[in-house]
């Protein structure tokens, strides 16, 4: 992979992690689901519990 | 050698140049060279000699991998995740306020504080948490120092959350008051976030990046449309709100966000604010490097004597508590011992994530310093000085500021306000409006020119307000959980997060607590920031003190006492800063600095009146309350430092076995796979 493409791939992976897209993908694979309205609703319910306790820095 | 040489020349230039403007690139070069040298040499020393990072030792992300909290993740992805979590409004606001001393004190503190303090704190706490299965700072303080340590850490976290929320809410109020354009833009983020929520849940489940981009486009349209709302005689009054109205709305918002199931609004807005934040930081960095603006603020101003209008007090200790995030921020230790350690796949990666991400945040603080210092000093002081110091009318304010040697006229301020689409920019304390004007000033040099200045200004205000509001709702929820955890010891049902009366009561408690500080701030004739930002700085540095006490204790127990200066020196600096600042804030005879002196002055001034006005009585009560809060913070510092020192003595004298409470050492399969 050329360096520019590698940087782009890492940047995209970084954004997907920050914006919970990777967490959703892991959720789907953990539960053996495919993306759907119901699956996303279940993911959001699970994520809410974790996120609600996370402080945000000043 | 080349980097060291260039860095030395840059620092010498910003430190020694007097009486003439310098280019912002000197600050950028000095910062980048300092971080490069700090990372290459100091963090390497910490990694090898002090912490002995071991890439063959499995991390909790590997051992406890569950696909949810514990996930081995690429180091650059963790870096981005960690940076997004630690970068908030603090590194933008603190340096803007501290610019009243000139650009030099803040810049030197940001660079030295980050390289030898903040980066070290984030790095060591992250590594120690990784070696303890991702335990939090509070848990590590209890395990390694003792119960008092754990209790102090808990109270420090609660204090900082309450004070932080009050202060950041005040910044939003000061930025939005009397500004229909800014208020309209922020109001529009509510329907935009709801649309995003529906899109995410119904149309394209999980496509957060896509919907965040769409949300961003809609927000930009809202900013564009805001100018017509501001000019409309029928719509403008609905969005022209006074500070008390805004404060009440924000307190109600914080309570509702904590107590009601409004995730359809909050989660998408959180994504949107992160999207805007990362984009803005990137664009600002590019703008500064490409446009290379000139700094008009002198290296040192006359206010190094402690008589500053933005906040009163000398460089030491007030510059050191005003700039916390960007140099040393105790709050980071909560993130370093929160989500991040559960994502680290190799111990060696804690160096780039812990030390590196903090260096990146420090650079954000340098950019904020530049944004404040590109303004003409007279304009900077006109925006940031409270009416109680410079006078209530534009004529009085500009005359006072010009008499200080920073010329500014009513015409300058009127035309600037018109250029950014505001009625006035006078007395906009809090740092956010000055940062927004600075950012707009930089971008207006090329991107759209003067025509776009108002758009850039409102973009910056929207970015800060949106981000602060997401901190408010997240912080109120975290505070509510902390209250519930504490109160469950009194009565079990109070700790149940599913029992609605407890949720409502605790949400009201936490929103009421920070709401009180907010209310106090908007009623303060000195602008609120003068009283509240130092308390916030002290509480943040108290948390950093807890983090360094934990770190030093672990270092000594690891048998690395000979390297303890690495954490002891920043700890000693923090103790000196918090003690001196607290003492001065409580006992200084200067009413602009000392809370008690200010209360006495109010009592003296109102003694001649037939009856003391309730407003004065409330201000006196607030002064005394602030003195008590500051006193409590000092007692906490004393407790944690003495408890830690006793533990160090016990271990060093051999009276106690030096035993660290780390997770068992398990060989990493990643290392084995790499080797094969």
- Say what the ipTM of the complex is: 0.91
The domains of chain A are located at 3-51
Instruction: Provide the pLDDT for residue B26.
Output: 96
Q: What does the pLDDT read at residue B233?
A: 94
- Chain A residues closer than 8 Å to B481 by CB: 52-53
Residue B475 has its nearest CB partner, among A30, A46, A55, at: A55
Q: Give me the total of CB pairs closer than 8 Å, taking one residue from chain A and one from chain B.
A: 121
Q: Do A58 and B89 form a contact (C-beta atoms < 8 A)?
A: yes
Contact flag A54-B208 (C-beta cutoff 8 Å):
no
Q: What is the CA radius of gyration of chain B?
A: 25
Partners of A44 on chain B (C-beta within 8 Å) are 201, 263, 267
Q: Which of A10, A20, A50 sits opposite B77 (nearest CB)?
A: A10
Contact at 8 Å (CB) between B313 and B534? yes
- Which chain B residue has the Cα nearest residue A49? B497
For B560-589, the three-class secondary structure string (H helix, E strand, C coil) is: CHHHCHHHHHHHHHHHHHHHHHHHHHHHCC
Return all residues near B527 (Cβ < 8 A) that are at least 6 apart. Answer: B174, B385, B386, B387, B388, B389, B427, B429, B430, B521
Residue A3 predicted with pLDDT over 90:
no
Instruction: List the single residue in A14, A19, A37 with the smallest CB-CB distance to B205.
Output: A37
pLDDT, residue B447, reads 65
> At residue B273, what are phi and psi to the nearest 5 degrees?
-65, -35
Chain A partners of B339 at a C-beta cutoff of 8 Å? 54
Residue A55 and residue B338: Cβ atoms within 8 Å?
Answer: yes
Q: How is B219-236 classified by DSSP, letter by letter? A: HHHHHHHHHHHHH-TTTH
Q: Report the sign of the C-alpha dihedral through residues B209, B433, B479, B249, in that order.
A: negative
Task: Tell me the chain A residues in contact with residue B164 when contact means C-beta distances shorter than 8 Å.
Answer: 58
Residue pair B450/B419 in contact (Cβ under 8 Å)? The answer is yes
Residues across chain A: 58
Residues in Cβ contact with B202 at an 8 Å cutoff, skipping those fewer than 6 apart: A37
B470: nearest CA partner in chain A: A56
CB contact, 8 Å: A37 with chain B?
A: yes
Spatial separation of the C-alpha atoms in residues B150 and B556, rounded to whole Å: 18
**Chain centre to alpha carbon of residue B514:** 16
Residue B319 neighbours by CB under 8 Å, 6+ apart:
B98, B101, B105, B106, B109
Which residue does chain B place closest to A56, by CA atoms? B471
Domains and CATH numbers, chain B: 2-178+241-652 (1.20.1740.10)
CB-based contacts of B16, cutoff 8 Å, min separation 6 = none
d(CA B673, CA B676) in angstroms, rounded, equals 5
Q: How many Å apart are CA B625 and CA B629, to the nearest integer? A: 6
A1 in contact with B, Cβ within 8 Å: no
Task: Please tell me the distance from the alpha carbon of residue B425 to that of residue B416, in angstroms, as a whole number.
Answer: 8
Note whether A55 contacts B77, CB cutoff 8 Å: no
Euclidean distance between CA atoms B31 and B28, whole angstroms: 5
- pLDDT means per 10 residues, chain B with 676 residues, are 92 86 95 97 98 96 91 93 87 94 97 98 98 94 92 88 91 92 93 91 92 94 94 95 96 89 79 88 90 94 95 94 93 91 96 97 96 97 94 95 96 95 92 94 77 90 88 87 85 83 92 95 84 90 94 97 97 96 96 95 91 89 94 93 96 92 93 79
């Amino acid at each position: 992979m050329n360096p520019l493409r590698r940087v782009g791939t890492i940047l995209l992976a970084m954004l997907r992690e920050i914006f919970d897209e990777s967490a959703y993908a892991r959720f789907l694979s953990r539960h053996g689901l495919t993306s759907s309205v119901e699956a996303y609703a279940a993911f959001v319910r699970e994520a809410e519990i974790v996120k609600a306790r996370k402080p945000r820095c000043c | 050698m080349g980097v060291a040489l260039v860095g030395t020349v840059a620092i010498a230039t910003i430190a020694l140049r007097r009486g003439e403007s310098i280019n912002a690139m000197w600050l950028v070069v000095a910062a980048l060279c300092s971080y490069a040298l700090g990372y290459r040499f100091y963090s390497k020393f910490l990694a090898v000699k002090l912490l002995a990072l071991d890439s063959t030792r499995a991390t909790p992300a590997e051992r406890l991998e569950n696909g949810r909290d514990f996930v081995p993740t690429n180091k650059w992805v963790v870096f981005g995740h960690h940076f997004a979590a630690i970068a908030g409004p603090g590194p933008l606001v603190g340096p803007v306020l501290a610019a009243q001393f000139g650009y030099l004190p803040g810049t030197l503190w940001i660079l030295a504080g980050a390289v030898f303090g903040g980066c070290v704190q984030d790095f060591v706490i992250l590594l120690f948490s990784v070696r303890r299965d991702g335990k939090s700072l509070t848990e590590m303080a209890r395990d390694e120092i003792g119960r008092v340590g754990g209790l102090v850490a808990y109270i420090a976290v609660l204090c900082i959350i309450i004070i932080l929320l009050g202060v950041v809410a005040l910044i939003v109020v000061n930025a939005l008051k009397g500004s229909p354009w800014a208020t309209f833009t922020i109001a529009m983020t509510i329907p935009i976030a709801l649309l995003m929520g529906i899109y995410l849940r119904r149309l394209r489940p999980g496509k957060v990046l896509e919907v965040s981009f769409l949300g961003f486009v809609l927000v930009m349209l809202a900013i564009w449309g805001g100018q017509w709302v501001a000019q409309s005689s029928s719509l403008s009054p609905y969005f022209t709100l006074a500070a008390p109205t805004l404060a009440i709305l924000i307190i109600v918002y914080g309570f509702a966000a904590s107590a009601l199931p409004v995730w359809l609004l909050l989660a998408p807005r959180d994504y949107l604010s992160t999207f805007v934040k990362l984009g803005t930081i990137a664009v600002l960095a590019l703008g500064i490097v490409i446009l290379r603006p000139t700094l008009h603020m002198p290296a040192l101003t006359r206010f190094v004597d402690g008589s500053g209008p933005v906040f009163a007090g000398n460089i030491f200790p007030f510059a050191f508590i005003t700039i916390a995030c960007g140099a040393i921020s105790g709050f980071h230790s909560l993130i370093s011992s929160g989500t991040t350690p559960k994502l680290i796949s190799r111990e060696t990666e804690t160096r780039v994530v812990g030390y590196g991400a903090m260096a990146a945040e420090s650079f954000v603080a340098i950019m904020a310093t530049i944004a404040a210092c590109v303004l003409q000093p007279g304009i900077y002081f006109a925006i940031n000085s409270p009416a109680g110091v410079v006078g209530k009318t534009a004529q009085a304010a500009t005359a006072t500021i010009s008499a200080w040697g920073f010329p500014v006229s009513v015409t300058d301020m009127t035309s600037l306000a018109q250029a950014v689409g505001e009625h006035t920019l006078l007395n906009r304390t809090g740092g956010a409006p000055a940062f927004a004007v600075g950012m707009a000033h930089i971008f207006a040099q090329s991107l759209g020119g003067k025509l776009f200045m108002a758009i850039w200004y409102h973009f910056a205000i929207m970015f800060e307000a949106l981000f602060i509001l997401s901190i408010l709702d997240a912080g109120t929820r975290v505070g509510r959980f902390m209250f519930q955890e504490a109160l469950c010891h009194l009565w079990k049902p109070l700790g149940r997060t599913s029992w609605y009366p407890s949720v409502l009561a605790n949400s009201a408690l936490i929103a009421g607590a920070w709401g009180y500080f907010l209310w106090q701030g908007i009623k303060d004739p000195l602008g609120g920031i003068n009283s509240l930002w130092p308390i916030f700085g002290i509480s943040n540095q108290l948390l950093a003190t807890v983090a360094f006490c934990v770190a030093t204790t672990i270092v000594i127990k690891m048998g690395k006492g000979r390297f303890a200066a690495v954490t002891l020196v920043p700890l000693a600096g923090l103790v000196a800063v918090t003690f001196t600042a607290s003492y001065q804030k409580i006992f200084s005879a200067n009413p602009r600095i000392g809370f008690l002196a200010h209360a006495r002055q109010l009592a003296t001034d109102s003694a001649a009146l037939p009856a003391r006005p309730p407003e004065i009585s409330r201000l006196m009560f607030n002064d005394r309350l602030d003195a008590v809060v500051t006193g409590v913070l000092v007692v906490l510092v004393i407790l944690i430092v003495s408890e830690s020192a006793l533990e160090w003595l016990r271990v060093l004298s051999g009276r106690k076995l030096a035993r660290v409470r780390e997770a068992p050492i398990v060989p990493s399969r990643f290392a084995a796979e790499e080797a094969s």
